[in-house]
Structure 1
Amino acid sequence: MSFIDRLAPLRAQPGARLTTGLDDATLERLAAGHPDLVAAIDAAAAEFERVRADLGALLPLDERAQIDAMQDGFVNFYADDAVTPYVALAARGAWVVTLKGAVLYDAGGYGMLGFGHTPAAVMEAMSAPQVMANVMTPSLSQQRFIAALRQEIGHRRGGCPYSRFMCLNSGSEAVGLAARIADVNAKLQTDPGARHAGATIKRVVVKGSFHGRTDRPGLYSDSSRKTYMQHLASYRGEDSVIAIAPYDEDALKRVFAEAEQNHWFVEAVFLEPVMGEGDPGRSVPPSFYALARELTRQHGSLLLLDSIQAGLRAHGVLSIVDYPGFEGLDAPDMETYSKALNAAQFPLSVLAVTDHAAQLYRKGIYGNTMTSNPRALDVACATLSLLTPQVRENIRVRGEEAVRKLEQLRSELGGLITKVQGTGLLFSCELAPQFKCYGAGSTEEWLRNHGINVIHGGENSLRFTPHFGMDSDELDLLVGLVGRALKEGPRREQSQAA
């Protein structure tokens, strides 16, 4: 019996399917070299037998009705027509099996899935018994975690430039704490008698930036600002954020010159090492970073590097201080990490700070119930332990191969793809205007229906954030289906007519 036959009970259920997934011939071809694929199917078959009696009347429903039933009672933060068109039942590694028996390759996952859906070492660490307490209770995990971070950060430049670390839950929360520290500094700089006494507070980002959706991180996020301006009273008249063209050094110089002329104080400059939302895969040039570091230091403001999307994924290293071309540059005042560090298994984000930024923190301005709990810290240590030289190299090599193969596809398709870019395993391809990137009748939806989970980014781009162990066969699968989607899938005139 073929391993695919184990999906027969799932596929035999009545009800129309939205997602057919990868075809069986592709699954047969990939199975020998991808044991996680077979394991995912085995897990789905076992899970189906375990839950089928409980699901009862849900099983015969059309897939659309099953999706609606699963999410009944939730308010979805995101666009309703961007929800994945299936009910996920089981996963192993990068492979997902649906309740209707379809199999998908996951190249999305919001950038979280560096080591796939089920990294054994991380899950083992997460499930170990713990004294569950926060930073107010000293634990062995705390010492292990700090040692692991100091070993990783700065390993290509002779040492870790950060003296202290603060642990939170979501990435946005880590950025929020960084903004709180910048707020402390802004008060010190603008109080009566200070260098910038009475100055108007300004903030600097690049256009298309994304730093989270909570309060102050949302303010620094240019990519989502239009929606906030439309719906939030607190944004009425809000003009504190200056968004410049990405990596325009002259524009950055002008901002700081205008700050001196207009009696502004630039609270902070927030940058992403590699953009994850506004222009996925675009990296900050070392020269622009060096200028931002120089200008913020001269002005008395702070520089934050938000590595939540890019950490580990961009160059196989956690911190921008170890990126090629950055090893000899001064570190930022603060840097944030989250997605790759927690392996998508347990909420954890980290704010790393230099001595200068650490001394700005004031007791009582922040707190977090789960901060530095041993379970989260052990998850991070387990994740970092998986980052072997071979994994680091694969991130770099496979990322270069991805850009090369998507560029080749771009040339073959004659204008259907308008731009390809990437840094490591964070890469994207921008689609021509005739394609709708996401939502009903979109290229993203077509890819999901046919076996590739992908999440859009930018104005009209497909953003790919595959697992760190991606091989050439998996990349060929992804690129091949992108080509099919653009040749066979929907276009705007079709989706509008529908």
Structure 2
Amino acid sequence: MSAGELGAVTAGPPATSEQWTRRYGDALMNTFGTPRGVLVRGEGPYVWDADGRRYLDLLGGIAVTVLGHAHPTLTAAVSAQLGTLGHVSNFFATPNQVALAERLLALARAPQGSRVFFTNSGTEAVEGLVKMTRMTGRTRILAQEGAFHGRTMGALALTHKRAYREPFEPLPPGVEFLPFGDAAALEAAMDDDVAAIVLELVQGEAGVRPLPPGFWALARRLADRHGALLALDEVQTGIGRTGEWFAFQHPDLGAGVQPDVMTLAKGLGAGFPIGAVIGFGAAGSLLGPGQHGTTFGGNPVAAAAGLATLGVIERDGLLAQARDLGTRLTRALAQLPVVSDVRGRGLLLGAQLRAPAAARVADLAMEAGYIVNPVTADTLRLAPPLILTWDQVAGFVDLLAGLTPADLEEAR
């Protein structure tokens, strides 16, 4: 298509959100339902819709846009790399690919022998994790009730929600779901036939639920005792989201105890699609030549985005900012009459309401210019850019402060 032909596609008066939504319904599969809006641009923590309305993006593309929108360093890195070398396939290596793998291993303080496999998404990273568990010669996997690990077939087998699973059964066998955070259940289920324990330190999709203190360390001991892998899904919690590079580095969440396998995505490219699965130590050699592959994974543009993202987080002190703002926001939300509990860490927070009115409150927030996620019937999930400031988010706190328990009852 020539430049003139491309211009013809976008010529004429701008379409409204209503018009775009109608066209969306006619052109795209109905896998996500009706969009909440049509967004056309972003800057920092803000986005604008096709009708010109501005919103503070407190969801961050579901914990993805850690640098906000149109960050100049990320934009420059991606543009420069795409103008130099965009894709080569994995028959060849590129400096960006190698440098990003080395950087991730260093940030995770991974031991000698650790290795990285790059993917395009979190669910693909989990697929790699599943394959790694099969290479142990065992097929039994212990997961948690409330877990969400993705929607491809292997990842879906680890995802607990029945509504996601049932239409596609039979799924890959061997997965057992244990009561969330139940130490006794985990101990009772462990045996020498277990290939892996798969955990999220904070379950985002289940309402931002952290595992109980000590559970991760117990899982590490049991995995070691029975020769199983301890696998950690940090797709949502990794890359600074909780105020550390990875959630397992929090003393009270992961006790600093390393997993054998860890998956990453979402914030790693700050909006550019990239994921990774890391094998720590001996687990880095579980997959050999021909046993896994990807056409686009670790391509030079995605790797450039990953390197730029990590660089900005370090340069601008965004880990500390996520910790500090998360603490302040948690305290402010916990004092509100309509909030019964605040869970999470850093800038992955779940504000539990005193009634199952999260969907209506999210609608009210959007009408007022704030994007949040009613992740469960009574919980709002916040996963904003790490560049967010208190002055920007204070208005959202004020909005919730203006609600009363009676307002929640009316919204039910």
Q: TM-score, normalised by structure 2?
A: 0.89
1:151 aligned residue:
106
Structure 1 position 232 matched with structure 2 position 168: yes
Aligned counterparts of 1:434 and 1:332: Cα–Cα separation in 2? 36
Aligned counterparts of 1:214 and 1:457: Cα–Cα separation in 2? 21
Aligned counterparts of 2:102 and 2:223: Cα–Cα separation in 1? 30
Structure 1 position 371 matched with structure 2 position 328: no
Report the residue type matching 2:177 in the other structure. A
Aligned counterparts of 2:206 and 2:152: Cα–Cα separation in 1? 17
Give the secondary-structure state (helix, strand or coil) at the position aligned to 1:468: coil
2:42 aligned residue:
91
Task: Map 1:196-215 onto structure 2 (within 5 A).
Answer: 201-215=139-153
Pick closer, same or farther for the CA change 1:53–1:126 going to 2, 3 Å. closer
Identify unmatched segments of 5+ residues in structure 1: 1-49, 190-200
CA contact (8 A) 2:149 2:156 kept: yes
Identify unmatched segments of 5+ residues in structure 2: 1-6
* Larger-gyration structure (1/2): 1
1:216 aligned residue:
154
Aligned counterparts of 1:145 and 1:456: Cα–Cα separation in 2? 34
- How big is the shift at 1:469? 1.6
Q: 2:11 aligns with which of 45, 54, 57?
A: 54
- How big is the shift at 1:219? 0.9
1:134 aligned residue:
89
Aligned counterparts of 2:232 and 2:53: Cα–Cα separation in 1? 40
Task: Map 1:266-277 onto structure 2 (within 5 A).
Answer: 266-277=194-205
1:101 aligned residue:
52
1:251 aligned residue:
185
Pick closer, same or farther for the CA change 1:447–1:347 going to 2, 3 Å. same
CA contact (8 A) 1:153 1:321 kept: no
- How big is the shift at 1:112? 0.6
1:125 aligned residue:
77
2:352 aligned residue:
430
Give the secondary-structure state (helix, strand or coil) at the position aligned to 1:208: coil
Give the secondary-structure state (helix, strand or coil) at the position aligned to 1:67: helix
Q: 1:175 aligns with which of 123, 126, 138?
A: 126
CA contact (8 A) 2:63 2:241 kept: no
- How big is the shift at 1:75? 1.2
- Taking only aligned residues, the RMSD between alpha carbons, in angstroms, comes to 2.7
CA contact (8 A) 2:111 2:280 kept: no
Q: Deviations over 1:253-312 (max 9, x none)?
A: 1111xx46xxxx2222111122211131x3334521111112122222211111110013
Aligned counterparts of 1:480 and 1:164: Cα–Cα separation in 2? 46
Report the residue type matching 1:126 in the other structure. V
Q: Deviations over 1:43-76 (max 9, x none)?
A: xxxxxxx9998344845xxx54442234431013
1:35 aligned residue:
none
Give the secondary-structure state (helix, strand or coil) at the position aligned to 1:211: coil
Task: Map 1:404-419 onto structure 2 (within 5 A).
Answer: 404-409=331-336, 413=337, 416-419=338-341
Structure 1 position 311 matched with structure 2 position 265: no
Aligned counterparts of 1:321 and 1:493: Cα–Cα separation in 2? 40
1:113 aligned residue:
65
Give the secondary-structure state (helix, strand or coil) at the position aligned to 1:72: helix
Pick closer, same or farther for the CA change 1:403–1:123 going to 2, 3 Å. same
Q: Deviations over 1:351-398 (max 9, x none)?
A: 111232122213322210012211111111111101136211111011
1:420 aligned residue:
342
Pick closer, same or farther for the CA change 1:336–1:480 going to 2, 3 Å. same
Task: Map 1:277-316 onto structure 2 (within 5 A).
Answer: 277-280=205-208, 282-285=209-212, 287-316=214-243
1:4 aligned residue:
none
Pick closer, same or farther for the CA change 1:139–1:417 going to 2, 3 Å. same
- How big is the shift at 1:136? 2.0
CA contact (8 A) 2:195 2:228 kept: yes
Pick closer, same or farther for the CA change 1:294–1:459 going to 2, 3 Å. farther
Aligned counterparts of 1:254 and 1:477: Cα–Cα separation in 2? 48
1:349 aligned residue:
275
Aligned residues: 401
Aligned counterparts of 2:404 and 2:76: Cα–Cα separation in 1? 41
CA contact (8 A) 1:447 1:485 kept: no
Report the residue type matching 1:462 in the other structure. L
- How big is the shift at 1:153? 2.0
- How big is the shift at 1:467? 1.1
Aligned counterparts of 2:197 and 2:227: Cα–Cα separation in 1? 11
Pick closer, same or farther for the CA change 1:58–1:355 going to 2, 3 Å. closer
Aligned counterparts of 1:66 and 1:286: Cα–Cα separation in 2? 47
2:3 aligned residue:
none
Pick closer, same or farther for the CA change 1:206–1:342 going to 2, 3 Å. same
Aligned counterparts of 2:165 and 2:240: Cα–Cα separation in 1? 29
1:28 aligned residue:
none
Out of 317-326 and 145-154, give the one that drifted further: 317-326
CA contact (8 A) 1:121 1:382 kept: yes
Pick closer, same or farther for the CA change 1:366–1:147 going to 2, 3 Å. closer
Q: 1:68 aligns with which of 11, 14, 22?
A: 22
Give the secondary-structure state (helix, strand or coil) at the position aligned to 1:316: coil
Pick closer, same or farther for the CA change 1:57–1:333 going to 2, 3 Å. closer
1:474 aligned residue:
392
Report the residue type matching 1:482 in the other structure. L
Q: TM-score, normalised by structure 1?
A: 0.74
